[in-house]
Amino acid sequence: MNTLHYGWRNLWRNTRRTLITLAAVTLSNAILIASSGLMDGLMRHAVSNATNLVVGEVQVHAQGYRGDHSIYKDLNRPDLILQAAKENNVAAAPRRYGYGLVAVGTKSAGARFWGVEPALERTTFDLAQRLDQGRFLSETSQREVVLGQKLARSLQANIGSEIVVVVQAADGSLGNDLYTVTRILNAAGDSIDRNAALIHAADFDELFVSGGRIHEVALNSRERLSPEKLTELLTTAAPEEEIMSWRQLLPEVSDMVNLFDVSMLIFGLIFLLAAGMGVMNTMLMATYERIREFGILKALGATPWRIIRDVATEALVLAALGTFLGTILGLAGSYYLQEVGLDLSIFATTYSVGGVAFDPIWRATISAKMVYLPVVLMLIIGLVASLYPAALAARLDPVRAIHRP
């Protein structure tokens, strides 16, 4: 207790210098915590948006389907996959895919048709809630279609527009029909916005004469199970199929998450080292100002360890106080960013990475990790920064120190 009191008292011998260093440590810690929370929130939102919107945590396809989207490359036993998902309480959505032409009046465009089961899409993913206009598909086949935002814009299609659909069916015949637009998706990701046309699975089977072929099963446990655990379960159930996690399906998003981890580590070290240099500079100046005092203490019998302990205690008190204030300030900033967010819509209304859309309002998350790492590292750096000044003070020659002008 005496050591702490002594250290606290000595810190305020030069109030201005201590306050400047304290402000630097406080701001460094606060900025690090707030920025870490904001970036962590962005990454969590990126992964959540990627998995919960439409991709899922794991997808299952026939071997080679990702490289050749042929209507004939369908899953061998989708029933085994759906059964495994059901047994493990994992939501799953089977999908059919095919390509064709859509036209409204004189406007036409290529489209990728999704044959979906509306009820399963609603319970498994959030795509049905990405509503720009209209409603999602009915539970029964009614010749309805949901269009991606950019596709609808290129066709000048609106809710209620009738579009002509022309496809080459699985049996080689030419399939065509008239569909009514019931909904336009809102910023669901570039690949979906640009060419997606969602229809009921029953309509797809009839239009493409596909015989119930299923090309994909997308699974989403909403973070209850890890992608690795899901992959293990599905590999056991359907070893002949190709099973891919969201990291494999969305390498751009995965790379962005990995880059975030590295960049935040570098960013944090720069800020903490800068604060540590401030602490060391303060302790060096305090040491030079107190050379005669340290000389007298050594002449009176103080050991080098006693000198080192006193200087290190001062540095730790300074680092701890700055860290405490910085943590409070950083958490307050993170809470504000969590509730209000950082609105970047003035630069762009939507952001997309790897075909996944992001909300232009970035929100922070608050977690124990974002607090204890900066706190522990700052205290360690503060202690390390005190070692050089403490060693200088401990090696002083008492006679020279006392007679120093």
pLDDT at 282 (0 to 100): 78
What's the pLDDT score for residue 359?
67
pLDDT at 83: 94
Using one digit for the tens of pLDDT, what is the confidence trace for 295-307?
A: 787 777 778 788 8
Give the 3-state secondary structure of residue 224: coil
Reference 60, options 28, 41, 29, 82; nearest CA is 82
Q: What is the pTM of this model?
A: 0.73
Collect all residues with Cβ–Cβ distance below 8 Å to 8 and sequence separation of at least 6: 317
pLDDT at 401: 63
Residue 178 CB partners (closer than 8 Å, separation 6+)? 143, 162, 163, 164, 165
Yes or no: say if 203 and 140 are a contact pair by the CB < 8 Å rule: no
Per-10-residue mean pLDDT of the chain, 405 residues long, equals 69 80 86 86 79 89 90 92 93 95 94 94 84 78 91 93 94 92 80 90 94 94 89 91 90 80 80 78 77 77 80 83 91 89 67 61 81 83 81 75 63
Amino acid at 403: H
Residues 3 and 315: their CA atoms lie apart, in Å, by 12
Residue type at position 371: V
> Domain extents for the chain?
2-51+253-402, 58-220
Supply the pLDDT for residue 397. 74
What backbone torsions phi and psi does residue 242 show, to the nearest 5 degrees?
A: -95, 120
How crowded is the C-beta side of 257, counted as CA atoms within 13 Å? 17
- d(CA 223, CA 226) in angstroms, rounded, equals 6
